[in-house]
Amino acid sequence: MNKQEDKKNLIIQTALAMFLKEGYDRVSVMDICKTCGITKPTFYKYVTSKEQLLRYYFRGTVEDLSACIRAMDPTNYWEIVCTGLTFTMQKSVRLGPGLYSRYWILNFNEKSEAPPYMSEARTMTIEAIQKGQKAGQIKNPSDPALLYLTCRNVGLGYALKWCMSNGAFDLIDRCRADFAAILQVDDHQQRGCNG
Residue 115 phi/psi, 5-degree rounding, is -60, 140
Residue 113 C-beta: closest distance to other proteins, Å: 8
Residue 117 C-beta: closest distance to other proteins, Å: 9
Of 74 and 116, CB closest to other proteins: 116
Q: What are the Cα distances from residue 30, in Å, to 33, 34, 96?
A: 5, 6, 23
Residue 124 C-beta: closest distance to other proteins, Å: 20
Question: Contact residues for other proteins (CB under 8 A)?
Answer: 101-102, 104-105, 107-109, 111-112, 114-116, 140-143, 146-147, 149-150, 152-161, 163-166, 177-178, 180-182, 184
Of 11 and 95, CB closest to other proteins: 95
Q: What are the Cα distances from residue 175, in Å, to 31, 153, 188, 193?
A: 37, 11, 18, 10
Of 5 and 170, CB closest to other proteins: 170
DSSP 23: -
Residue 130 C-beta: closest distance to other proteins, Å: 14
Q: For the CA atoms of the chain, what is the radius of gyration? A: 19
CA 95/CA 146 separation, integer angstroms: 29
